[in-house]
Structure 1
């Protein structure tokens, strides 16, 4: 009798879950809200892959994509600009990561994209608070769906999303060990991730000098500010470091004649994904708080299928599809506040979290675009050197393996792997690797996840 009651309760929970979620008729997509805290609502969108391959020895994976910012929307940018089934013109994307896994997009933290809070005091102020909300969301989604529990979850992040990814992974592992979360963590992949802000800002001046984008005056001006940033970080004054970071970006822009922070081969705003992503969360009110320079940036959003901005596209075309967005909620209406609330955590490093994951045997992958400036590979090398992982020296002594994609025979990247640590250097790619190198990115994610749809390892 007790067993029967448990089954009835389980079925009731499942029915309540699907009553609160919306699904397409064929079941290929579902989406909804999870109230991660009272009056704090997080929006999620799950795609079930039409390319799914059943292999008893290799479970089909799920990728949780975490966007950066903080305040940029994974539901919009990661989905329509980078890896989802449709592009921003609503045309099929040949390189969608659905070919290797199911895809879960989340507007994280609360206040991002279609996510929202009813009380402005509820914005998260730390990466750990964001991780706690995401863990609550995963509990709601996975614990009530046995099919999801069969798939290993890979947390794949871009930019500031990398900080969310490593804190989430540790939070999720704790919940799994406590029996509160029913999923298997497959690994974490950090794409052009803001793991150590100090190392990234220190890389900008020397890198731009080597690229002839700086002269000595630019290098000296940049280095002076970097030293001030390091002092503030050393004193634990992270919000002050954030203010200096924004001023440093102004110095970089002035002395480089407006270099694109997302691709140092371009001038600013030449990359439509980069410019629209910045506009997503860096609005005039927030920018004035940090520096007069940033408020003068000329940011424009990319055009979309309906001929307007991304916000127009999400608030019109996508809103009509979803049907569940509250009337008083508009896409991105609280993104400024998301960034502001995390100002004290923005410049805080998360190297220790990476170390904990590696020590715990979690698969950790780094992939970085060659021509990114904001999260330059030079900065990644610097923070990797600071890892305390017991096998770091063995990793460093390995030779890299060249990577190819397509029939041209050209080198597209390099890879190095040792035990549970993996590093991909992606050539001819900036901050948005899946956009710049879609073929290699797809092969890479198949390798990372061990997808049964993937060809033999690169």
Structure 2
């Protein structure tokens, strides 16, 4: 999981139906008003309603949005994620903008935020959705995004709060997923429920009538890979609606912690640390990797690989530090927390009181009207109160922070359907940095690994021929794009570039504007420290099982020298033995002097806060 290593979000306690949207009396953020008696009765009447026709989820009048300025059709509501009636996902669907493309060519594009347990409403309101909060005469309004909303790609865009307990999605049984299998089961059940309800737009004769693509960022990289792989397997069942999943676009994705926990090389590139510090962090990285080999997926030493660098970015004792999500931003007392604007979304959907830092105000009765417009009354009636990130579902999955999805990635890439995977990274991000992501892809044990590593690199200009937007390396159905001037949330930082990227990806465009012609090797060594461990360039299914060529060359040289010495000086033969150092994932585990102290490593309470 891409994490900011900080305090957990405060656990919210929900009161029963009679006090819907109520918070604890000692909560300083408590709501100024509560639902009226009329709204309470409405909740009781509609809390068990299940939609049987898409018109029941049609959004007619969204508070703060001028319907004359925004004519795009939209649907929102709750659909079951379990056959037992105890789990429901909240979704929000937008129709594509008018275009000249045939309807069958317009895909369904799903957006998921990460965390785990962070709401996809971040993506909708802050990143690539169809409207933004603006201040007019001191009050917040929703203003349509007429340029870079992803429904204008064109695409049906679907934002989903998942797993249960996230955003406005809820569970009455409090059974939160604890592993990938349970995540996949809930998500697939919801997706089948969604396609049945909206079959007029997406289904023909028990099969989707258009392509489906996933998108998302951070821990959504984990989600998108396992969901794509699960769908491909479930498509074999004739009783299910066959889902035409054709690709996934994963931004700053958390997919292979074995390489992605590390932050030293990325930090060195940004100037946050020096060469000597890189060497020291390499020892800690190797200890983290040993823990992962032993299936210790939630350990302090792994979290510290970025946390220590960030905490010292302003020097010892400073109240300020660079943001793990974007080193161009600063965190500290009196400064807004990342991402900008998320507290407004919380006030709009969750009835939280805005702080004095905000530029505008919201009507006191705004949330009840919004919940009614989005057909999410049952969520509130169950006790679920919207927050950007929530604790119960996160805590259920936190112990798997270091578990990657490499086997599933390989299965997706090698599936006969040729599913396209686009990984894109804002290079200003530290917590899911571009170095770790690229190293993970270089070590990926799929059948075309050597070809991908040898593939040329291209500069890509999305906006202007005089401005480079990023750098692409691709081979067949695997693409990796590094995006300049962006951090953890690429669509937030460079919306035009993100829009052009998705248009190119969905509709078969090219990222190959101009090839770089530079000397290169198949798999790069650490560029900054001669003591760095040697990375094995043999990409096969048994990553890390072969010895380093450099070590064998050195050993051979030593043996030859000894034999020559013996022959020249006619002395007794010297017994010489070569010790082979064990490896994992192509990374040698050199002897380390770092002490993995229990309080620093196996602290049950030390877990990273999930991110978007």
TM-score, scaled relative to structure 2: 0.62
Where does residue 9 of structure 1 map in the other structure? none
Confirm whether residue 351 of structure 1 aligns to residue 406 of structure 2. yes
Distance 1:162 1:224 in 2: 27
Corresponding residue to 1:67 among 113, 131, 134: 113
Count of matched residue pairs: 416
Query: What SS does structure 1 have at the residue aligned with 2:81?
Result: strand
Query: What SS does structure 2 have at the residue aligned with 1:193?
Result: coil
8 Å Cα contact 1:142-1:183 kept in structure 2: no
Corresponding residue to 2:441 among 371, 377, 384: 384
Aligned 1:175-324 pairs, distance under 5 A: 175-179=234-238, 180-202=240-262, 204-215=263-274, 219=278, 222-223=281-282, 225-239=284-298, 241=299, 243-257=300-314, 258-268=321-331, 273-274=338-339, 303=358, 306=361, 315=367, 318-324=370-376
Where does residue 114 of structure 1 map in the other structure? 168
Query: What SS does structure 2 have at the residue aligned with 1:137?
Result: helix
Query: What SS does structure 2 have at the residue aligned with 1:230?
Result: helix
- RMSD over aligned CA atoms reads 3.3
8 Å Cα contact 1:399-1:416 kept in structure 2: yes
Confirm whether residue 29 of structure 1 aligns to residue 74 of structure 2. yes
Change (3 A) 1:304 1:200: farther
Structure 1 gaps, min length 5: 1-13, 282-299
Q: Which range moved further: 338-347 or 76-85? A: 338-347
Query: What SS does structure 1 have at the residue aligned with 2:105?
Result: coil
Deviation string 1:310-339 (CA, Å, 9 cap, x unpaired) is xx9994674353243333331039811111
Corresponding residue to 2:490 among 405, 411, 433: 433
**Deviation (angstroms), 1:301:** 11
Aligned 1:320-335 pairs, distance under 5 A: 320-326=372-378, 327=381, 328-332=383-387, 335=390
**Deviation (angstroms), 1:147:** 2.0
Distance 1:317 1:248 in 2: 45
Where does residue 187 of structure 2 map in the other structure? 134
Change (3 A) 1:329 1:280: same
Change (3 A) 1:303 1:110: farther
Structure 2 gaps, min length 5: 1-49, 62-70, 135-141, 203-207, 315-320, 347-354, 514-612
8 Å Cα contact 1:447-1:457 kept in structure 2: no
Corresponding residue to 2:471 among 393, 396, 414: 414
- Structure 1 or 2: more helix by fraction: 1
Query: What SS does structure 2 have at the residue aligned with 1:256?
Result: coil
Change (3 A) 1:238 1:154: same
Confirm whether residue 49 of structure 1 aligns to residue 99 of structure 2. no
8 Å Cα contact 2:248-2:422 kept in structure 1: yes
Distance 1:357 1:313 in 2: 47
Distance 2:482 2:511 in 1: 19
Distance 1:352 1:303 in 2: 45
Change (3 A) 1:218 1:336: farther
Corresponding residue to 1:338 among 377, 386, 393: 393
Confirm whether residue 82 of structure 1 aligns to residue 127 of structure 2. yes
Distance 1:279 1:130 in 2: 29
Confirm whether residue 447 of structure 1 aligns to residue 510 of structure 2. no
8 Å Cα contact 1:306-1:313 kept in structure 2: no
Distance 2:158 2:421 in 1: 19
8 Å Cα contact 2:457-2:473 kept in structure 1: yes
Deviation string 1:164-218 (CA, Å, 9 cap, x unpaired) is 000000111122221213321121111110111231222x123223432125785
Deviation string 1:90-118 (CA, Å, 9 cap, x unpaired) is 21222111111110000011110001111
Where does residue 215 of structure 2 map in the other structure? 156
Change (3 A) 1:124 1:411: same
